[in-house]
Amino acid sequence: MNVHNRHINHLVNRATFGPSPKSIRVYQALSIPEAVDRLLMESEHYEPLLPIPTDRFKLSNPKKSKDDFKAKRKLKRKMVGAKKRFNFYWLMKMAHGQEQLRERLAFFWHDHFACNEKHPLLVQRQINTLRKHALGYFGDLVVELSKDPAMILYLNSKQNVKDRPNENFGRELLELFTIGIGKYSEKDIKEASRAFTGYRFDTEGNFYIDESKHDNGSKQFMGQTGHFKGDDIIDILLRNPETGKYVAGKLYHYFTGQEIGMGQLEELSNYFYHSGYHIGKLVKYILTSEVFYADQNIGTKIKSPVELLASMMRITEARPSKGSFTLGVQNKLKQTLLRPPNVSGWRSGKAWVDLSTIPDRLKLAQQILSTNLQVKDRQNPLSDEGDEDVLQESEKNVKIKTRINPLKKITNARSAKKQVHYLGNVLFMSDTDHLRPLYDRLASQFESGNLSFSELVVSLLSLPEYQIH
């Protein structure tokens, strides 16, 4: 593979959820700057993802009565089913949507602002907030999430009242969301938490400040004094250069897989700071930098379970009929969308592969491309009457439709041997010289008719080399 195509493939693998048959041809015809501009252009459009009708569930708790146990149980099943439905729709958007860079960044922010809320409408609302601001201004995103109902519930902001401030959100705002651990004092956490007292939302999910619960007193935060509210605290944090360093360094690691050097961090964070913390501009800066395409950064990242699943569905144009299969894969591989394990988010790197997950990762291609695959769903949260027509998430069997022909057309003009090598270059980012004998054997079987194109793709996607990008 020539250097240009290798770099383009690297860009597509890191900035999207992997190549699609269409994108392979499109992007290899572009220069790096043109390809990055196209990725940004394709992700300009934002449209909320709304598989759950906004009037489906109330945000207020039902009144207690002697007979409400069954009603609550039924409601809980429906809410679980609705959250599964959103999981499926978002994953399919990752795999097949045009706005690849937007979804890539939304997935990053979902981990950065880790939140595991049960109410499906609040989950839907929060993820759409992440998607909306994914490439916009970081400050807007932080402010929106400080007032987000799911975040208010998850970090106990409803218990944050004057005279008895709850420090959960204040602590995570500093430690995980903005300037990073070690750049603040315990007093800063306490004073920040006072500024966020009284943060509430009504039964329609609209944010407001309950003035009777809010602490209007003077606060001392990071060397400044004032009658601060939450937005003021966020503004002070955004004026602190450490915020730019923390966020820019984390985004650099997300795209390169490497820790950033101090010199590079200063350059990158200064650019981010002076752009007004514009995420899209920072991402463009990273994706067009020479260091992004350095050999030590290519083929070094282990795909997370969601990345692996989305990329495999993308290259094969796989579309499961329901979300039972994709949810089962996420659970087995230990990364389930909408359910980060804690406020720190998911693990990364080598933590994704162990003796319990490697077999399932390697057989995933076979499962997706098996003819007439049917997956029994033993947990049907919507088995009771009502709402199945709207929130139908699970059925007894799930069929997976794939389209291999678009991928096959790209390779048809080549000999069998060149077809296999070309596919290997498209699918794998690591050094594959050691795979040449395997390529030759697969090409021989393919040319003789003993191996179909679909079986050839399965063989390649099942190799350990596809697990990294």
* 432-465 per-position pLDDT tens digit: 789 999 999 999 999 999 999 999 999 999 999 9
Global pTM reads 0.93
How is residue 245 written in tokens?
Answer: 């360093």
Instruction: Report d(CA 299, CA 297) in Å as an integer.
Output: 7
* 364-392 per-position pLDDT tens digit: 999 999 754 444 444 433 333 333 333 34
What's the pLDDT score for residue 75? 84
pLDDT exceeds 50 at position 412: yes
Segment 241-263 mean pLDDT: 95
What's the pLDDT score for residue 66? 57
What's the pLDDT score for residue 376? 46
Segment 118-123 mean pLDDT: 95
Instruction: Report d(CA 21, CA 315) in Å as an integer.
Output: 6
Instruction: Report d(CA 305, CA 334) in Å as an integer.
Output: 7
Instruction: Report d(CA 399, CA 181) in Å as an integer.
Output: 46
In contact, 313 and 75? CB cutoff 8 Å: no
DSSP state of 183: S
Q: How many CB atoms lie within 10 A of CB 300?
A: 15
Instruction: Report d(CA 235, CA 231) in Å as an integer.
Output: 6
- Tally helices (H) and strands (E) across the chain: 23, 6
* 162-198 per-position pLDDT tens digit: 999 999 999 999 999 999 999 999 999 999 999 999 9
Buried b / exposed e over 220-234, threshold 16 CB at 10 Å, is ebbeeeeebbbebbb
pLDDT exceeds 80 at position 422: yes
Segment 346-362 mean pLDDT: 93
What's the pLDDT score for residue 466? 96
CA angle in degrees (0–180, nearest 5) for 315-317-319: 135
Residue keyed to tokens 């007093």:
187
What's the pLDDT score for residue 382? 33
In contact, 288 and 32? CB cutoff 8 Å: yes
Mean pLDDT of the chain: 91
Residue keyed to tokens 């933590």:
351
Half-sphere exposure (CA, 13 Å, Cβ side) for 121?
A: 15
